[in-house]
Structures are given as C-alpha cells and as structure tokens.
Chain A
C-alpha cells in the first residue's frame, strides 16, 4: 500500500514524538489521505480510551500516611519473604549492600551499587538474560557497535575457568552501557561497562567489597568504568577483573 510508509510515522505523530519538520510532512499527507486520517483517528481514540481506563486505582489514605511517616511499617506480605528461594540470597544482597555501605563516606556509592545489584538480579531473573548469545568475544563485542558511544576489549578466556555467555544493553544514571554475563562453575557474573562520567557518583576510583554475599569490584580504565558483580568467590571476581584490565590495556 502506498500509505504503508506513513503508518509508523502516524503512530509517532499521535504520540507527539516527531520533529517539527516531520510533523509538517505527516500533516501534509494527512490532509490528502482519508485512509491515514482514519488510522490516526483510531489511534487517538485508542490512546484516549487507554488513558481513561488506565487511571483505575487510587491509593488508600492509610498507605499515604504510612509512607509519609517514614516508618518501616510491617511488611504485610513479606516483600522479601515472597522472593523465590533461588534468588533469596541475591535479593538479600540488595539490602545487605545498603546496610554495609551505610558507613561509607558516600551514600551515592551505595545507591550506585544497589542499582547495579538490582540490574544484576533482574538480569538473572530473566528467562532471556542476554540479547546476544555467544561464547565468542568476536561476536559479542561487535554486537554493541552502533548501540554504545564507546567500545571496549574483551579478554581471551581460553585456559581460564570463565565462559562468556553473552551481553545486553544496560542503563545506569540514564547512561547506556554494556552488561556482559560470564560464568564460572554454576555462578554467573555480570560485568558492567559505562563511560567514566559515572565517577561523579563514586568517590573512590577503585573499590572492592568482599564481605557480602555478592562480591563486587570496580575500577576506571581510561574513559570507562567497570563493575564486576556476582555471587562467585571473591578471588574469582578478582581474576576476572584482572583479565578485563589486561584486555583493556592490550
């Protein structure tokens, strides 16, 4: 159909997501096209219906007051207790990290690490944890081309106990980055790589934590910031970190 090329634009037009120039172009087309006009009308009606139907639930006054008081309050359903056993340790880590980092000089560090822990747990919870599935670094690395404003090197893992499982896009502080999943034994380790501007959220450049269920290591390498996190042994986390550092310097 002649109008097929306009369909996608009409969706973005209805969402108000086109540039001024594109809006004009679509507007010009709509003035002369009954079919696309009907399509736009249908989309706008659907959006309105969703908006009306979607505003369905209102919070109770009691909930508002409970949160406003800032009380820990009883966790009626045992939010933590409801987590599946498989991820119980991982879930507890999020809270343990927050507690451990309470004494740290910067609350920002704790937040950054807690966010990374959330990302790691959420990834492992997914049935499809990676978007590019390959053990070959020469397949995984190129997958990020055009998706990230930077590039990075991956280590050769032959003769090491580590296996690369793949990678996916990740976001931290509204910045895109790479998340790579490595495996050692039955443990999965996430490696996050972001541009180093995240350093504003980290007061120390290199950090290691060994006292928690999850081990984490972070460092800056030129313009990139690396985070290695997982429930593997701290020595394994360190070994993988060293491999990544060597690859970055090669």
Chain B
C-alpha cells in the first residue's frame, strides 16, 4: 500500500488518537480505491491521497472540533513575516530534545501543525502542499512561516523553562 506508514503518521498527528487515526486511514484507502479510476496519471498521487485523508478528517468529529481555520487578517497578506527575534543560538536543538519538539508540535494549532508536518516530515514541495490543503502557494509560504515562528516560540519557552 503506497504511503501507508506516512499516512498513518500524519493521521495520528491530526487526530491525537490511535483508533481515530486507524479509522481515518482505512476510510482514506477506501475512498481512494473507489476514486482511483478518476485519478489522472501524471498528476501528483501523494497530494491526491493526502487530500482525501485531510478532507475526511475535516468532516470527522475531531476535525470539526479542531476548528481548522485561520483568521482572515493573517491569511490575506501574502508577505512573509520575519522570523522571531530569538537568537538562533537559543534554538539549538539536538536529538535529546526530540520530546520537546514533539510537544511543541502538538501544541500548535492544527492548521500550523499540518503544514509543518507536510513540509518538513513528508518533505512535500510548496506546490504539493498547496494541492493537498487547497490553498494558493503564496498562502502556503506565509502560513508555513507563521507556523515555524509559532513553533520556535514554543521551543524558546521550553528551553528557557528548563
């Protein structure tokens, strides 16, 4: 099954629940199988199946509760915000801090969490992310920048609290 491990990992991050993630992945493959004849060869399969998973999640109870929205004010301008003013040295992260990074990712709003995971864990291009979550590439860039800033701030707070 293509992308099985990755889809499950992404589903767990979205749902925070093993059983819900399993149901979500199963539902995704079911929909993908039914719809595969309509998949256009040569287009991006990965973006297509992640999009099915994400849309299925959005209409689930957990997805609806997550309030997967971004304020208009913050989305309309496509200019990227400068990164947080924290010095890079304060953000030195090594493997020993993996749990800290996981906690910081978990605390992110879901729309920030998903875009960071798609970019840095799934290593999707901006274009793939745009196709997956149905937003323009400019919005991908601005949302990604804000998501990383939010993550940095979360890490800084943790590092300072240690």
CB neighbours of A119 from chain B (8 A): 55, 134
A49 engages B47 (CB within 8 Å): no
Stretch at the interface among A53-61, A211-219, A242-250: A53-61
Q: Are A54 and B88 in contact (CB under 8 A)?
A: no
Near A by CB (< 8 A), chain B positions 83-134 give: 83, 87-89, 91-95, 97-99, 101-102, 105, 116-117, 119-121, 123, 125-126, 130-131, 134
Candidates A42, A55, A121, A176; contact of B9 at CB < 8 Å: A55
**A2 on the interface (CB 8 Å rule)?**
no
Q: Report the Cα distance A58→B78, complex, angstroms.
A: 36
Contact of A67 among B29, B58, B119 (CB under 8 A): B29
B23 to chain A: closest residue by CB: A79
The reply to whether B116 and A82 contact each other, CB–CB distance below 8 Å, is no
| B23 lies within 8 A of A118 (CB) | no
Q: How far is the CA of A129 from the CA of B19 in the complex (A)?
A: 29
Does A17 touch B at the CB level, under 8 Å? yes
Contact assessment for A57 and B121 in the assembled complex, using a CB-CB cutoff below 8 Å: no
Contact B91 A42 (CB under 8 A): yes
- B38-56 vs A, CB cutoff 8 Å, 1 = contact: the mask equals 1010011001100000011
Q: Which of A172-187 contact B (CB under 8 A)?
A: 173-174, 176
Partner of B134 from A57, A63, A67, A169 at Cβ < 8 Å: A169
> Does A201 contact B93, Cβ atoms closer than 8 Å?
no
Q: Is the CB of A54 within 8 A of B92?
A: no
Q: 5 A-B contacts, Cβ less than 8 Å apart?
A: A7-B80, A42-B91, A59-B5, A83-B60, A200-B40
Given contacts A4-B82, A7-B80, A57-B13, 7 further A-B contacts (CB under 8 A): A11-B80, A53-B105, A56-B13, A82-B61, A110-B35, A111-B34, A171-B134
Closest 9 CB pairs of A and B: A42-B88, A54-B121, A111-B35, A53-B101, A59-B8, A57-B12, A111-B38, A108-B38, A82-B61
Q: Which residues of A contact B (CB under 8 A)?
A: 4, 7-8, 11-12, 15, 17, 38-39, 41-43, 45-47, 49-60, 63-64, 66-68, 70, 72-73, 75-77, 79, 82-84, 87, 90-91, 94, 98, 107-108, 110-112, 114-115, 118-119, 121-122, 125-128, 131, 147, 169-171, 173-174, 176, 200-201
